[in-house]
Amino acid sequence: MQASTRKPKRALRLVILTAIGAALLSWAYSSRVSADEAADAMRKAAAAQAARTPWSLAAMETWQKPSADELKERLSDLQYRVTQEEGTERPFQNTYWDHKEAGIYVDIISAEPLFSSLHKFKSGTGWPSFYRPLVETALAEHDDQKLGYLRTELRSRYADSHLGHVFDDGPEPTGLRYCINSAALRFVPLERLVVEGYGDFAQAFRDAGLEVPEVQRATALLAGGCFWGMEDLIREIPGVLDTEVGYSGGTLADPSYKDLSNGGSGHAEALQIVFDPGQLSYAELLDWFFRIHDPTSQDRQGNDRGRQYRSAIFVLDAEQRQTAERVKKEWDASGRWQAPIVTEISDAGAFWPAEGYHQDYLEKNPGGYTCHFLREFED
């Protein structure tokens, strides 16, 4: 569909259809959801991301949609109802209806780009509204008469997610209103466009007078006890671009969590961190590291005991080794920790990603176990 092929109708139609639609939706949709579910959905949004590697169109050509069981595991109830069962979230009780930050909106399952904040407008309907899609070919249209009158349903091209509907009562220049469920979307802020593989869309924001920061990428590999708590805190550090939990420091190839629990693999629960050295230096990252776990505890963090829970810095090159040794020495001499620091510094070997259920664990299970917290020290 080309946006220019439709003609706008009178404003009265917007008022009438919005009123009728809102009334019918209040009883017709058994899949309607509460504000609590909406909050839960957005809390799990990052976990629903299709992949942790940057998005690319080439990768989408061979991408396969997860099974229903996998989607139920990865998505919140709200996200699943909306995208897979054509549900509708409540107006004015969803995350993006009044969202004004610059960036793009992608499919919650496949991460395919759908809409831009540059095309978003305030429709007064209580749902996110856009006057055009980011990519015309990203959307598929279907006739929908579930409410007793003809509407045009919108679905994403690759994930086939139910997104919402398009109406011909929007503003110029298209006269269209793409009325979308927040639960079907994930927002990518302007500063992460390049990092997440959406750099092709950055120029439009530059043309609009907005600054798109250039991003550098560097990698660190750290171990500090249970990787759930490590990841949950480190991902929030400004300058951290991506995190992945896994296993490193041992000899067993492609280990499982069970292998570490049984002992003998030599691996530690580790966290691979991708960060922007322009925002966060390696030394600053290590300063955070020494604050969020106990580096004086030998092969133990909290209630977790064993070599897999050791404190370790796996360095990727000579410069990282030099920095790690300097920062460790500074922390040891500072007296912030009362006992000697036992953090091991060794050359990084292979990093083996952990099982999927371990990734973003505390984001998906906010009440889950953790023994990590950020210490405040007096310098």
Q: Do 150 and 263 have their domain in common?
A: no
Q: Do 17 and 165 have their domain in common?
A: yes
Would residue 226 show up in a list of annotated catalytic residues for this protein?
Answer: yes
Q: Do 257 and 294 have their domain in common?
A: yes
pLDDT digits (tens, 9 = 90+) for 65-102: 999 999 999 999 999 999 999 999 999 999 999 999 99
Please identify which of the residues 226, 230, 341, 362 carries the catalytic annotation: 226
- 303 lies in some domain: yes
Domain residues for 290?
A: 218-364
Q: Do 258 and 320 have their domain in common?
A: yes
Q: Do 180 and 313 have their domain in common?
A: no
- 40 lies in some domain: yes
Q: Do 48 and 196 have their domain in common?
A: yes
Any idea what the CATH number is for the domain that residue 67 is in? 2.170.150.20
Query: Taking CA 185 as the corner, what is the angle to CA 40 and CA 161, rounded to the nearest 5 degrees?
Result: 105
- Return the residue matching tokens 């759908």: 114
- 213 lies in some domain: no
Q: Do 107 and 40 have their domain in common?
A: yes
Q: Do 247 and 333 have their domain in common?
A: yes
Q: How far is CA 341 from CA 32, 233, 292, 378, in A?
A: 53, 21, 14, 18
How far is Cα 219 from Cα 277, in angstroms, rounded to an integer?
Answer: 9
**8-state DSSP, 327:** H
Q: Do 317 and 349 have their domain in common?
A: yes
Would residue 179 show up in a list of annotated catalytic residues for this protein?
Answer: yes
pTM for the structure as a whole: 0.54
- Chain-centroid distance of CA 26 in Å reads 31
Q: Do 16 and 160 have their domain in common?
A: yes
- What angle, rounded to 10 degrees, do the helices at 282-292 and 227-234 form? 130
pLDDT digits (tens, 9 = 90+) for 217-237: 899 999 999 999 999 999 989
| Nearest alpha carbon to residue 271 among 162, 358, 195 | 358
Please identify which of the residues 139, 179, 260, 273 carries the catalytic annotation: 179
Any idea what the CATH number is for the domain that residue 316 is in? 3.30.1060.10
Q: Do 53 and 110 have their domain in common?
A: yes
| Nearest alpha carbon to residue 228 among 372, 131, 13 | 372
Our count of domains for the chain comes to 2
Q: Each residue's pLDDT tens digit in the chain (379 positions)?
A: 333 334 334 343 444 444 444 444 443 443 344 444 444 444 444 443 333 456 777 778 888 999 999 999 999 999 999 999 999 999 999 999 999 999 999 999 999 999 999 999 999 999 999 999 998 888 999 999 999 999 999 999 999 999 999 999 999 999 999 999 999 999 999 988 887 889 899 999 999 999 987 778 899 999 999 999 999 999 989 889 899 999 999 999 999 999 988 877 899 999 999 998 988 999 999 999 999 999 999 999 988 999 999 999 999 999 999 999 999 999 999 999 999 999 999 999 999 999 888 998 888 888 888 998 999 887 6
Q: How far is CA 364 from CA 41, 73, 111, 240, 318, in A?
A: 10, 10, 18, 19, 37
Strand partners of residue 186: 106
How far is Cα 89 from Cα 33, in angstroms, rounded to an integer?
Answer: 6
Q: How far is CA 342 from CA 239, 284, 290, 295, 324, in A?
A: 27, 19, 11, 6, 13
